[in-house]
Amino acid sequence: MLRLLVFLTVFLSLYSAMHALVYRGIRPLLPEGFRLRLPGLLFLALTVTAPVSARLLERLGQEAPARSMAFFGYLWMGFLFLAFSGFVLLLLIGLARRLFWLFSRQSNPPSWRSRAGAVTVLTCALLTGAYGFYEAGQLRVESVRIETDKLPAGVERIRVAQISDLHLGLILRRGTAEKLAADIRELEPDLLVSTGDMVDARIHHLPELIAPFAALSPPLGKFAVTGNHEYYAGISQAGEFLRRCGFTLLRGESAAVGPGLLLAGIDDPAGGEDPDELALLKKGAPDRYTILLKHRPWVDKEALAHFDLQLSGHAHRGQIFPFNLVTGLEYPMQDGLYALAGGARLYTSRGTGTWGPPIRVLSPPELTLIEIVRSTPSEPD
């Protein structure tokens, strides 16, 4: 309870500060002497609290109002993020200009520049937000090919489909699930894995989303690990949802999957425990190609010698530019394939869905197809 109160306090404080900066940015467009009155204050209160209100309504079983509040609140959040970024840029430019004027002893900039800047930022935020709504629906298939000598004779390749950060819930619903399932089926993978955050809501109103995933039957099965949002939604219900979708949930466990392949999966630390990744991997079979399913793209250097490929997600590559610059500070390996020490690799998905705003800017959603190919031995000279 204390952690929740701290989170809400920090979130509402930061989100209110973003609103304040955007309001400061649009002041040049408002009539002289303008003051916020009750309707404006109520609107601001609604926009600031909408994400929290949507979750509260959902927990109270008020699905329709919760969906409406979530859609309004998260679209507004996306627009606010973009406007905030633009006004921060204007603020930095303004500071640079003031320094220039200070040393050159020129007069202050004319007020029309402030008005033009505000109009430009708001227009760009609206247009970029509209494009981001479109981009969020343009799922890309990212293909990755990795060679290994660990596949036995007779097994030329194993095709692994990865989904991550789908965030099924109040906004992403049955249509999203059905389209994604059709795209996965078209790829004809041997194995399907989910690297966390498949759900983003209480599960009591998600049964309609089970059928599309339950109908998928890759020959080597379906496996998943928890992300932080499985815990936010309720880990017992989230686990039941994944199992009804046909996924085997790996929680500090490993599974031999077909010839020459081993899957290991660990829980996200949002569960309050620090998973012993090294101990789990040491129980594996070194002669098998080992894939580690781990929600966050952090690499345990001590475990490097015990896996061949780590599959992760979580960071969304920021989801909305320029927030990839912020997420990149915490997760430097936040998008694509990375070579690690000792020949291991990390692949980080940008995510298949969206969290919060149904918007993506310069970070399109992805469905990943990883082909693990048996390397051909080089012939002697």
pLDDT given at position 107: 54
Q: For residue 322, say if its preceding peptide bond is cis, omega within 30 degrees of 0.
A: yes
Alpha-helical (H) ranges within 27-135 are 38-59, 63-104, 111-135
- The count of other CB atoms within 10 Å of the CB of residue 168 is 26
Per-residue pLDDT of the chain (381 residues; tens, 9 = 90+): 666 688 788 889 999 999 999 999 998 888 887 887 888 888 889 999 998 898 888 887 787 898 899 999 999 999 999 999 999 999 988 888 777 665 555 555 567 788 899 999 999 999 999 999 999 999 999 999 999 999 998 899 999 999 999 999 888 888 899 999 999 999 999 999 999 999 987 666 667 889 999 999 999 999 999 999 999 888 998 999 999 999 999 999 999 998 899 999 999 998 888 888 999 999 988 899 999 999 999 999 999 999 999 999 999 999 999 999 999 999 999 999 999 998 999 999 999 999 999 999 999 999 999 999 998 765 554
Beta strands in 257-296 (DSSP E): 261-265, 289-293
CA distances in angstroms from 344 to 132, 148, 205, listed in the order given? 34, 11, 40
pLDDT given at position 344: 95
**Calpha distance 152→191 (Å, rounded):** 17
pLDDT given at position 104: 57
3-state secondary structure of 234: coil
Per CATH, domain 140-374 is 3.60.21.10: yes
| Sequence-ordered list of residues with C-beta below 8 angstroms from that of 143, at least 6 positions apart, any chain | 368, 369, 371
b/e 306-318 (16+ beta carbons within 10 angstroms → b): bbbbbbbbbbbbb
Residues of the chain with CATH 3.60.21.10: 140-374
Cα angle value 243/299/160 (rounded, 5°) = 45
Is residue 241 within 8 A of residue 203, CB to CB? The reply is yes
pLDDT given at position 94: 82
- The count of other CB atoms within 10 Å of the CB of residue 272 is 8
Pairing of strands 191-194, 222-224: parallel
**Which among 194, 221, 189, 233 is positioned nearest to 55, based on CA atoms?**
233
Q: What is the pTM of this model?
A: 0.90
